[in-house]
Amino acid sequence: MRELVTAQSKLLDQMTRKLTSNDKTLENIHTRMDTLASTIKNQHSFNKMLESQLAQLADVVPPLEKCNIPSQPEDLETANLVDIHKATQCHIEPIDV
């Protein structure tokens, strides 16, 4: 009978140590989850701020006309051709468009 009580006592001690270890692990996980939740909230706030700023910029910038490249000159009578594929020096020739 004494052996049974001693074995049960050892088993109870081992279980207590494992439960204590599990409690510490769960506390660590809980802390990390809180940190992650806070980080996600901060990122969400930052994304909303960026979205708001982009909307404000979109309201300020005038829309582009179709078939026009931004900063394209109005008058395209001449353009410069730069062919450096086979040249050893850069050679610029004006061409008519």
Question: From first to last of its 97 residues, what are the pLDDT tens digits of the chain?
Answer: 889 899 999 999 999 999 999 999 999 999 999 999 999 999 999 999 999 999 999 888 877 666 556 666 666 555 555 555 555 554 555 555 5
Structure tokens at 77: 């009578």
- Provide the whole-model pTM: 0.50
Which distant-in-sequence residues (6+ apart) come within 8 Å of 64 by Cβ?
Answer: 70
Where are the alpha helices (H) located in the chain, listed in sequence order? 2-60
